[in-house]
Structure 1
Amino acid sequence: MGGLVIFDLDDTLLRTAAATRAARRTVLATLLPGCDVARALAIWRRTTLLYSDQQFADLVEVLAAVLGAPLPAGADLDGLAAEYHAEAVARVTVDPRVVAAARRLRGDGHALAIVSNGDDAAQRAKIDRCGLGELAPAERVVICDGTRIPRKPDPAGLRPLLGAAAPAVLVGDRTTDVLTARRAGIPVVRLRTRTADLERGSGLSRAVRADAECAPAGVYDAVRELL
């Protein structure tokens, strides 16, 4: 009997970090022209420990306060947030190595699922734009938006997917993914990437160990060893 392989989306199936950095640069050029961009990007990453990108107005207000650069009077933060998310979606690309592993695992008889934190519309737009809609049926694509479904590392998004008998494995790049799997009682493969833990959960990265760690090219073998 095949098992279930649950994939994270951002910086797992998709290459998201570069797209996000580019979109953040656009925001900085609009809101804080002339700022030290490298420093501002580093502070933005750290500010996501307090606010996610879905809390855009709070995030950029804190960013401006830390930089000591007030936001322009009358700045349209809602409009800028929409442009920011649209640019991030438009720039995202697939990681062909991880997607190939997913398709190979499905060919072996394993079911696939996608569980991702983020805005529901934005995450589904990424899936559609990058042609990943065929990987998993709609009922096994779960977006943990923090409103309808709690965000990882809360395991609520995983639990409806987990059957009583079939084994399951989670594949992700961050400490939040490892903690989610631990709380759900399933093994986890963590991708070794340069972008892992630049943001939320970074302080726990050394204390929380996955069952297996691998580069994107090693996902297939790592999952097979755990199923």
Structure 2
Amino acid sequence: MIWLFDLDNTLVDRAGAFEAWASGAVAAAGASADDLAAILEVDEGGHGSKEALARVLIDRLGWADDVPGAIGRFRTGVLERVRLYDGVLFSLDVLRGAGHPVAVVTNGTSAQQRGKIARCGLDEHVDAVVVSGEEGVAKPDPRMVEIALDRLGVADVDRREVWMVGDAAHADVAVGRAAGTRTVWVSHGRSWDGPDRPDVVAPTTREAIALAASPPGAVLS
């Protein structure tokens, strides 16, 4: 099997890192719980417009920064606080140890996403990294999957031998479907409320991997 993983909120806790940073920024500005709620809402777990988030931060926290400056501030805050989910490296190592190629397929800027990967020590635990900001395309464009498979040296593999794992239905599940792979949705306790349920749904990435690898010949126990 081939394993393609989203980065934010799949391998690393980007949402938790942003909330921790935002809580500190709100406290430093003497702002309120309502301000924090507004900031978290517009962030959309990392999927919201960065420009819109910057404007809310400037407005709610009284920053003197312009929009690019505010974007830089919160990106730095996330990068300083981001952490891997527990057990993720172990699961990746088990997959690779069994001969299963592993790649990260992530939307975002090169500096930010590569920075998270380096900070969390993911580099040595995956075989390839595909970042939308480096490729000129982004999930759910299926070219992101095709680039990853090419980097792994398996461009001609049967797409049903490929798992796309991620937390975002509109990006990760959608790109897997567009590329014809199997899909794994990391729910973080949410309910799937649309049609066409993914092949595997699990609350955490480790549980998702275990379920996806559970048929005969599974590599995880």
Q: TM-score, normalised by structure 1?
A: 0.76
Letter in 1 for 2:147: P
Task: Name the residue aligned to 1:200.
Answer: none
CA contact (8 A) 1:115 1:143 kept: yes
Query: More relative contact order in 1 or in 2 (CA 8 Å, sep 6+)?
Result: 1
* 1:119-158 matched pairs, under 5 angstroms: 119-137=109-127, 140-145=128-133, 148-158=135-145
Larger deviation, residues 82-91 vs 69-78: 69-78
Task: Name the residue aligned to 1:214.
Answer: 202
* 1:15-34 matched pairs, under 5 angstroms: 15-28=13-26, 33-34=31-32
Task: Name the residue aligned to 2:96.
Answer: 106
CA contact (8 A) 1:64 1:71 kept: yes
Aligned partner of 1:13 among 7, 11, 14? 11
Task: Name the residue aligned to 2:76.
Answer: 86
CA RMSD of aligned residues (A): 3.1
Q: TM-score, normalised by structure 2?
A: 0.78
Sequence identity, in percent?
Answer: 28
Please list the CA deviations of residues 125-171 of structure 1 after superposition, one character each: whole Å capped at 9, or x if unmatched. 1100111001223xx200113x7432211122111233213521111
Q: CA deviation at 1:91?
A: 0.4
Task: Name the residue aligned to 2:163.
Answer: 169
Q: How far apart, CA to CA, are the structure 1 residues paired with 2:104 and 2:188? A: 19
CA contact (8 A) 2:31 2:60 kept: no
Letter in 1 for 2:175: T
CA contact (8 A) 1:113 1:141 kept: yes
Q: CA deviation at 1:84?
A: 1.1
- Assess, with a 3 A threshold, how the Cα gap between structure 1 residues 155 and 28 changes in structure 2: closer, same or farther: farther
Unaligned runs of 5+ residues in structure 1 are 198-203
- Assess, with a 3 A threshold, how the Cα gap between structure 1 residues 109 and 64 changes in structure 2: closer, same or farther: closer
